[in-house]
């Protein structure tokens, strides 16, 4: 679930991708160091499928993919 300037972006966007990428990388690295997961390869896709992210951000001059503002495209 994400919001940009109080507008619900139901499909996420660049802001969600950036935050998820950082969280997934951190969690995957931590799990790889755990003793009970040493024998297993923790894939980022596995972490992502079990992740819930809520983002509320304020962005100057946001750009969206359409008039419905479903996806943020601003970098």
pLDDT of residue 36: 80
* Mean pLDDT of all residues in 17-30: 93
- DSSP lists the bridge partners of residue 56 as 3
Rg (CA), the chain: 15
Q: Which pLDDT score, from 0 to 100, does residue 39 have?
A: 77
Average pLDDT over residues 62-75: 90
| pLDDT value, residue 42 | 82
pTM, full prediction: 0.78
**pLDDT value, residue 32:** 83
Of 23, 21, 41, residue with least CA distance to 31: 41
pLDDT of the residue at 21: 95
pLDDT of residue 14: 92
């Amino acid at each position: 679930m994400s919001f940009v300037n109080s507008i619900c972006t139901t499909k996420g966007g660049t802001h969600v991708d950036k935050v998820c990428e950082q969280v997934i990388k951190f969690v995957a690295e931590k799990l790889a160091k755990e003793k009970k997961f040493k024998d297993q390869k923790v894939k980022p896709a596995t972490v992502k499928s079990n992740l819930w992210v809520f983002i509320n951000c304020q962005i100057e001059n946001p750009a969206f993919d359409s008039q419905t503002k479903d996806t943020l495209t601003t970098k």
